Amino acid sequence: MATTPHAFETLKLTGLGRSFGGHAALAGLDLTIRAGEFIALLGPSGCGKSTALNCLAGLLPLTHGTITMDEKRIDTLSPEQRGFGMVFQNYALFPHMSVERNIAFGLQMRKVSRSETKRRVTEAIALVKLEAHAKKLPGQLSGGQQQRVAIARAIVLEPSLVLMDEPLSNLDAKLRLDMRTEIRRLHQSLGLTTIYVTHDQEEALSMADRLVVLREGRVQQVGTPEELHTAPVNWHVADFMGYRNLLDVTVTESGAEGVLVSNEDLHIRGTAVGGVTPGGAARLAIRPEDLRIASSEDTGDGLIVAEVAVVEYHGREFSVGATAKSGTTLYVRSELAPQPGDKVRLRVDPARALVFAADLDAAGEPVAQTALAGEAAT
Shortest distance (Å) from residue 141 CB to another protein: 16
With CB under 8 A as the rule, give the number of residues binding another protein.
42
The H or E element that residue 164 is part of is strand 162-165
Shortest distance (Å) from residue 255 CB to another protein: 36
Sheet holding 23-34, edge to edge: 23-34, 10-20, 64-69, 72-73
Shortest distance (Å) from residue 328 CB to another protein: 36
Shortest distance (Å) from residue 194 CB to another protein: 14
Which of 19-27, 185-193, 299-307, 322-330 is the region at the interface with another protein (rule: CB under 8 A)?
19-27
Crossing angle, helix 99-109 and helix 114-127, to 10 degrees? 130
Which residues, in sequence order, are CB contacts of 42 under 8 Å at separation 6+? Answer: 49, 198, 199, 201, 204, 211, 212, 213, 214, 240
Residues 107-166 that bind another protein (CB under 8 A): 109-110, 150, 153-154, 157, 163
Residues 84-113 that bind another protein (CB under 8 A): 84-86, 88-90, 92-96, 105-106, 109-110
CA separation for the pair 14, 26 (Å, rounded): 12
Q: Give the CA angle between residues 230, 231, 233 to the nearest 5°.
A: 150
Which of 79-87, 198-206, 248-256, 349-357 is the region at the interface with another protein (rule: CB under 8 A)?
79-87
User: Can you tell me which of 6, 7, 12, 28 binds another protein, judged by CB under 8 A?
Assistant: 28
- The alpha carbon of residue 97 and the mean position of all alpha carbons in its chain are separated, in whole angstroms, by 33
Residues 281-320 that bind another protein (CB under 8 A): none
What are the start-end ranges of the H helices in 128-246?
143-155, 173-190, 201-207, 225-230, 235-240
Closest CB to another protein among residues 113, 295: 113
CA separation for the pair 1, 158 (Å, rounded): 9
CA separation for the pair 46, 214 (Å, rounded): 10
Closest CB to another protein among residues 138, 302: 138
Closest CB to another protein among residues 96, 129: 96
In 3D space, the residue among 133, 152, 130, 143 whose CA is nearest the CA of residue 174 turns out to be: 143
Which of 36-44, 81-89, 243-251, 339-347 is the region at the interface with another protein (rule: CB under 8 A)?
81-89
Shortest distance (Å) from residue 76 CB to another protein: 9
Closest CB to another protein among residues 87, 208: 87
Identify residue 366 by its one-letter amino acid code: P
CA separation for the pair 241, 248 (Å, rounded): 18
Residues that bind another protein (CB under 8 A): 15, 17, 19-21, 24, 27-28, 54, 57-59, 61-66, 78-80, 83-86, 88-90, 92-96, 105-106, 109-110, 150, 153-154, 157, 163
